[in-house]
Every structure is written in structure tokens, then in C-alpha cells.
A and B are shown apart, each in its own frame.
Chain A
């Protein structure tokens, strides 16, 4: 249904410098697919979506919708947009019209249909999104969730073949996210082709048939939700999905300043609101780096914390070491480490000895 070929987007700043957002992105969307586009802020997800109906003009590449190149100047873009709905983060309902008029606007004013007929259909659509009783209300009197459902209804009134959702729940209170998501789920169940830019990982994973992970100027990963969430191939994907927060340390000489490491750990923990767990980690760092691994330098230490499942992992790599050390080390230290953690693994890699404490 949609073919995107070598799409590039870059912005020119007022000072003349250019910022490349996306470079040579290609993918296809078939009929009935629900594709979620995820990725860190500023990765170009929304820009990518807005290029698909030419709300933004890409710097290069092609977008082909049902055999028509929509970026060609000869294409009647309004015709295409009538078949390719869009739902916005900020709803963008027409403030001067009632909800019913918002929903009949497209059929009556754009498609030139009879008002009476359009109103019957509009009421049916409103019933579908659960807003029958709000038909006569003005947009300003609705809650955020209701507004977004009305915006979806307005979009459906054009009978689109595909709908583009641009962060449909980002501007909503957490309590209203569910009602909007359930409307989108219902559309997915009816077989509507949809592209959804979202930050809601759980929602993306249940509603989509496919997920695109966008970062570093392109699609880093493209696969089913299972692949992306359970088996990400790239570390960026994993970091993003598990919402990992990392602290990285490199220790090269033998005069390690434990106090400065400790204060860095405390600052990091404070930043993510887990300061109650910092003393445990400080103890692990002290035992491992100052006692067990004292003779081994240089080494690299990483602390990663997942905001998704609250797991804290300490990983250290002793460069150039090719034998295990834990079993032959001081028993008191080892027992302290074991007492503080769930799991300790020790592996020898090409770079050296890797110790993971979870």
C-alpha cells in the first residue's frame, strides 16, 4: 500500500548549517498492517510520518501510495490526503464547530456529500468511538481523551484507507490514555492499516503487527513486537526499550579514588530517584574494585539501571585478563558480594574478563 524509498529529511538552520534527520530510509507497509514507529525523541519519527502525506516535504526519496508518487508536484495531494487520514498529538479539532460538525465537515465540505446523509454516518462513527452523547458539544467542553476520540471520528468520516497517528496519546493525562488506545485497538481489529508514532511501549507491543525502531538517522530495527522487545539486535534498541540509564567509568591506574566514584554513584542514583539503593552498589564497587580486582588494571565499569523493570546491573570488564578471579579471591569479600546481589556471572571474552552482577 505504501512504499517508502530512500527518504531523506534534513533541516537547514538560519545560520546555513544543515541537520540531517533521516538518511535513505526505505520500508513498505502492506494493507492491514499496524506499524508502530518508536525511537528516542528527536530521532525523526514524526517527521517521517508527516512526509507520508506531504505535510512535510522530504529532501529526497519517494513515497508511493497505491501506485501514486505523492511527492511528485503533479499529484493532487488533496485527493491523496482524503484517502490517508491523520490524527495529531494535540487533537486539532475545529474549535468553531460542534463535535458533529467536526465529523461532518470532511464529507460535506470536502467530498460534497449531502449533510443529512453525512450526519447519519457521523452519528454511527461517534457511537463507535463512544461519543454519541457529545455530538452537540463544542470541542472546548470535552476532556483530552474525548477530544482525541472525536479527532479519530473526524478522521474516520473520510473513510480513509490508512491512518497516520502522530503520538496520539502524548498530550493526554495518564487516566485518559486507555480510552484512546482502546479505540485504536478496535480499529486494528477491524483491519485498518495504521502507522502509529508512539512512546507507549506496552501499547505498541500489543497493537502492532510490526515495529520500526528509528534512531541515528534511519530505521535501526524492523520486526515483529516479539523480535524487537525480546530479542533486540542492537544495543541502542535495548537501551531504548528497557529505558536503561547508564553510568560509565574507566579506571586506568592503581591509585583509584574511591570517594569520587562513590559521589558520582550517589549523584547518578539521585538523578533517577533510586538513592535508597546507592549504598548497596557502593559496597559492591568497593569490594569488587578495591579488593578482588585490586591488582588488575585497566578496567571499565558500567552501571545500568532500567526504568522499565527497575533492574540494576553492574558490569565490569578487566582488559586483557584471560582467567577467572572470583573463585580464588578473598572469601569474605565474595560472600559480601553474593549477599548483596541476585546473580553473579564471570565470563572470559576476547577483550578480557567480564563480571556481571545483577
Chain B
């Protein structure tokens, strides 16, 4: 018991600090050194594709990670010897805290990046290309690149510089919805609850010049292109690498930035922090305090609470309606409810949520939070209907008969006799359904909502700190679930 506790504490510290092994650090200078080693790759990246073509059967162990942060942590913890990825994230000021080193820049892989535009949206593409062209001619694009990309020591607060060129504002205040894949400093990053960065600056300048309003929505990287195709967003700004496959699906602006690739491994000079408390403090500061990152968590918490409560209330109402249909003597009503419950129960909520957002409400202009509330209400409505039904069926038919035989109306019989007893049976199951719903809302990040979970993801990808953001939201979910349980128990006691 005690040993277990010590052991788990050690693991936590190891993940905070990055475990440093005493053996020699692998520092590859060429591809020939790779066989016999483990190489970390980012899922779906150009580097991963390159590695699969060239090293797959040559004794190189390839492991995949969803994001740069995860790949970096893997290298730091020794689960991979080297990370093979583009250098975008290494421009982030937090990179130097990671005790990792760029061993070599790889010239074979230079990717051109640009903004993604929906296929066929010729006006926007032309307008943006003309604007970018004017920046290139004026040397402004080069200046922006240098200011954002080659200044790792500068305070990011001082970097933003927007010079709208005097031009005719054809936008007329039209909303331009920009999809980004979260925090990718220095291209896109969150600073004091506002989005900024190299690409954001370009687009803000473009919007100011052409008279557009900008709205930024956050998606997982692999959802950006579907979101663009369905018309949910107008532009992708995610240092999107231009390749043939993507060109089939979307159009690209002219090239804004050329992205190099590098081998990244552990810093051989780093021997571990001497003061553990100091490093924990530093980690906590980077996760929560710096640039008011706690605000992101706080806003996420509010959104999580709003989505959960609204979905619970609407789900409880919808559940009542579905249940009354399900228990109706009319065959068509019962079959309708049965079908609804069958579909909802057998569709994964994440899939359902994405269908609602990217298909059903794609063009409705309804905001993502509303869509999430609708999807979760519909899903929990089906489950709650069945919970109600089992509660109602637990009340003996004889009691209903007795009430009706006394001349009590069906409604009053239900209200005074069936409902109180049904609630007593259903309440414990209902409580657990509510908590399932609360925790279930952690997937709304998929449809661009920055809830509690997504907030911690964003902080993790900016600060490269996994421990404190995750610990914080775990505690917050725990507190929310406990509060919810207590509230529902208090309601139950009143019955």
C-alpha cells in the first residue's frame, strides 16, 4: 500500500520533470544512424509519410502520436529516441524549457504552407491572394516571418503589429469564420484569452484592410478540412502544408511560409533539475498563471456547466415526452419512441455530435454550444426516458387501479401516486446518468467548443506541460460530479 503510493508519486514526478536516464543520448546527424532506434512521428504528418516510405523495413521502430506535445513528452521520457517533425513548435518560447535539442535540420523535407479555402470559393481566394501578393511585394511577409519565427526570446505580447493598408473595404463587416487547430505557437497562439500569432496577424490585417469581421473556431486538426468543406468555416489557418492530396479537397492561398523538418532529441547537457519544488512551481506557473491561462480553464468550466445543465434539463423534459410515447397504448407512438431510443442508444455520442454539427446544422449558423446542447439533450433524453419507464413500471398496476376506481383523474393518479414512487426507484440511476452526461461533455472540443477538457488541451499544447492542466481539470470534474450528486440526493430526500 505504502510502497504503491511512493511508486505512484515517483511516476508523477517523473512526468513533471522528464525522466533523465544516465545512458548516452542518441543524437542522429543522418538517416543512416536511425536503424535500431525508436522514432516518434506525428499522425498524418508529411514526416510520417516520408518515414514510412524510407525506413519502415530498415529496423527503425516507428511510433505515432496525435500531437507535437505528446511526441515531445515521449522523447523526454525516453519512450522514443528521437522526434521527427516539422520545426514549427520549436519556435515556441516554451520549447527551451523542455530540455530537448534540435540535432539536425533536415533539408530533404521542406513543406510549403498556406491558408485553406473551400473549393470553388474563388472570390475569397483571389481577394486573399492579391492581399498576400501585396505583402510579399512590400517585403512585409518576410518581416512578419522574421518577427514571429526567429525571435524565441521575445515577449509574445510585444510582437503583434497590424498595419491595415488603405484599400476598399469590400467585406462590409461580413463575418469571416477561421478554423484553427488550437495552439500552434508562433503561428496561432492564445495570449490573455485572445488569439494571436503569425497567421492570425496576417488574417487580422487582411480583415482590417478588406472590412471583414473575424471569428476564430478551434477544431482538432483532422476536423478542419471537413469543417471547411461543410461550410462551417471559411478559412483554415493552421500552417496547413500544401500537398496533392489536400489540393483534391480544398484550395490553397499562395505560400505564406516554408516549414523545415528536424530531428529532435533530448538535450545531452541537461542533467535534471536540482530543486524539485522549484521545478514544480515553474510547471504550475507555466500551466495556470502565465498569460492568465487559468482564465481559459475558468471559461471552459463555465461552458461545461452550461452545456451539462441545459442538456440535463432539456433531456429530462424530452425524456418525459419520449417515455409517454413509449408507454402509450397507440402503436405508432410506441414504435416511434422505440425507434428513437434504439437509434440514440446505439449511436456513439461523439459520432452523433459530429453528425449534428457537420451535417445537420452545418449551414444553420447555430453556434456550436447550442448544437452540443441539442445533441446531448437528444441523447440523454433517450436514456432518461428508459429510466423513467423502469421507475413507472416498478409501481404496481393495482395502485393505479385503486386511484382510478376512487374517481381520481389519470393525471392526478400519476402525479400523487405513480410519480413519487417512480422517482424514488429511478433517482439513483438518474444520478448516475447525470454524471455520465457531465463527463460525456468532455468531447465537445471536437466541434470547436473550448470546454474544460479542450482548455486543458490548449494549455498543454502551448506550455508543453501535461501534468498540471490535466490534474486541474480532473479535480474540477470531480468537484462538479460531487456537487451534482449532492444536489440530486437532496432532491431525492425531499421526495
Contact = CB atoms under 8 A, between A and B. Distances in A.
B11 interface: no
B270 interface: no
Nearest to B423: A96
B409 interface: yes
Contacts of B416: 94, 105, 109
Contacts of B405: 53, 55, 81, 85-86, 88
A122 interface: no
A94 B402 contact: yes
A90 B403 contact: no
A55 B401 contact: yes
B408 A92 contact: no
Given A90-B398, A92-B396, A105-B416, A81 B404 contact: yes
Contacts of B424: 96
B475 interface: no
A78 interface: yes
A158 interface: yes
A100 to B, nearest CB: 15
A178 B22 CA distance: 91
Nearest to B402: A92
A270 interface: no
A95 B421 contact: yes
A78 B424 CA distance: 28
Interface in B394-412: 395-396, 398-399, 401-409, 412
B394 to A, nearest CB: 10
B407 A55 contact: no
Given A94-B417, A96-B417, A110 B398 contact: no
A77 B421 CA distance: 26
B401 A88 contact: yes
B420 interface: yes
A78 B409 CA distance: 7
Nearest to A164: B405
Interface string B211-223: 0000000000000
A55 B404 contact: yes
B409 A96 contact: no
Interface in B416-430: 416-417, 420-421, 424
A110 B412 contact: yes
Contacts of A53: 405
Interface residues of A, number: 27
Contacts of B395: 95
A80 B405 CA distance: 9
A193 to B, nearest CB: 16
Contacts of B408: 78, 106, 109-110
A249 B406 CA distance: 52
B414 to A, nearest CB: 12
B236 to A, nearest CB: 59
A83 B405 CA distance: 10
Nearest to B398: A92
B397 to A, nearest CB: 9
Contacts of A88: 398, 401-402, 405
Given A81-B404, A92-B396, A109 B412 contact: yes
Interface in A71-122: 77-83, 85-86, 88, 90-96, 105-106, 109-110
A48 B403 CA distance: 20
B420 A92 contact: no
Contacts of A109: 408, 412, 416
Given A95-B421, A96-B420, A109-B412, A79 B407 contact: yes
B417 to A, nearest CB: 5
Contacts of B399: 92-95
B396, B406, B412 interface centre (most CB from chain A within 10 Å): B406
A93 B416 CA distance: 13
A85 B424 CA distance: 29
Contacts of B420: 96
Contacts of B421: 95-96
A334 to B, nearest CB: 61
A158 B406 contact: yes
Contacts of B402: 86, 88, 92-94, 151, 154
Nearest to A155: B406
Interface in A25-78: 53, 55, 77-78
Nearest to A106: B406
Interface string B173-193: 000000000000000000000
B396 to A, nearest CB: 7
Contacts of B417: 94, 96
Given A92-B401, A93-B402, A109-B416, A81 B396 contact: no
Contacts of A93: 399, 402
Contacts of B398: 88, 90-92
A83 to B, nearest CB: 8
Nearest to B418: A96
A91 B396 CA distance: 11
Of the listed residues A83, A90, A94, the one surrounded by the most CB atoms of chain B closer than 10 A to its CB is A94
A82 B401 contact: no
A201 B273 CA distance: 96
B136 to A, nearest CB: 78
A125 B162 CA distance: 88
A250 B405 CA distance: 51
A82 B417 CA distance: 17
A78 B401 contact: no
Interface string A207-229: 00000000000000000000000
A92 B409 CA distance: 17
Contacts of A90: 396, 398
A258 to B, nearest CB: 54
A78 B407 contact: yes
Which interface residue of B399, B402, B412, B420 has the most chain A CB atoms within 10 A? Answer: B402
Contact of A82 (B396, B407, B412): B407
B407 A81 contact: yes
Interface string B371-414: 00000000000000000000000011011011111111100100
B404 A82 contact: no
Contacts of A158: 406-407
Nearest to B401: A92
B494 to A, nearest CB: 13
A154 B403 CA distance: 10
A98 to B, nearest CB: 13
A218 B371 CA distance: 64
Nearest to A158: B406
Contacts of A83: 407
A333 B45 CA distance: 114
B259 to A, nearest CB: 69
A76 B408 CA distance: 11
Interface of A: 53, 55, 77-83, 85-86, 88, 90-96, 105-106, 109-110, 151, 154-155, 158
Given A81-B405, A95-B396, A96-B420, 12 more contacts: A55-B401, A55-B405, A78-B407, A78-B408, A81-B404, A93-B399, A93-B402, A94-B417, A106-B406, A110-B407, A110-B408, A158-B407
Counting from the closest, the 6 A-B pairs by CB-CB distance are: A82-B407, A81-B407, A92-B398, A92-B402, A86-B405, A78-B407
12 contacts: A77-B407, A82-B407, A88-B405, A92-B401, A94-B399, A95-B421, A96-B424, A109-B408, A110-B406, A151-B402, A155-B406, A158-B407
